[in-house]
Structure 1
């Protein structure tokens, strides 16, 4: 899993320690920002299920829909994220055949 620090803004606040990355097992880009008031989880956490955001643009659109922004990304971070996804292209989906086998009633 890749993780890069970026700044996320929105709702009259800014998080210069937000995290963007690519999660190979879930085959999705993700974004985590702003400490939650009660839990250890981020208050903003996008990309928590399989293939949630296949492109950075889809992730950005979801952030905007929630009232947040993180664009433009630094060119080196954007390039590295694209490389991170490409490096695991063709990898079997999370769980793969074993999960399907275990789901089948015997």
Structure 2
């Protein structure tokens, strides 16, 4: 399972220690943010069911529907997430224009 720390904003609050990643057993992207007041679970948890979130765009739409956002992602994180999914599903990393874009996103500034 991949896990990257990002910032999630929404409902007049910010979580600079939110987590985004890809869960190979569930085959879904996920987003976890904001500690729950009564449990150890995150208050915001998207992508907890099998095949729930297929793309990063789907993940952002789901977060926006809940009143939250995580864009823009830190440099390279989007490329790493796509590569994590590709590796988990046995697909090669994209080639061509998309592969070049992902390589540029993954390079340090």
Q: Same fold (TM over 0.5)?
A: yes
* Cα displacement (A) at 1:10: 0.2
Q: Give the aligned partner of residue 28 of structure 1.
A: 28
Q: In structure 2, the residue corresponding to 1:44 is in which secondary structure? A: strand
How far apart are the structure 2 equivalents of 1:57 and 1:7?
A: 17
Q: Give the aligned partner of residue 7 of structure 2.
A: 7
Q: In structure 2, the residue corresponding to 1:32 is in which secondary structure? A: strand
Q: Give the aligned partner of residue 85 of structure 2.
A: 85
Q: In structure 2, the residue corresponding to 1:71 is in which secondary structure? A: coil
* Structure 1 unpaired stretches of 5+: 92-106
| Deviation sequence 1:40-97 (CA, Å, 0-9, x none) | 0000000000100000000000000000000111230000000000001149xxxxxx
Q: In structure 2, the residue corresponding to 1:57 is in which secondary structure? A: helix
Whether 1:48 aligns to 2:48 is yes
Q: Give the aligned partner of residue 100 of structure 1.
A: none
Q: In structure 2, the residue corresponding to 1:88 is in which secondary structure? A: helix
Q: Which has the larger radius of gyration?
A: 1
How far apart are the structure 1 equivalents of 2:53 and 2:89?
A: 15
| Deviation sequence 1:5-29 (CA, Å, 0-9, x none) | 0000000000000000000000000
Q: Which runs of 4+ in 1 moved over 2 A?
A: none
How far apart are the structure 1 equivalents of 2:82 and 2:75?
A: 11
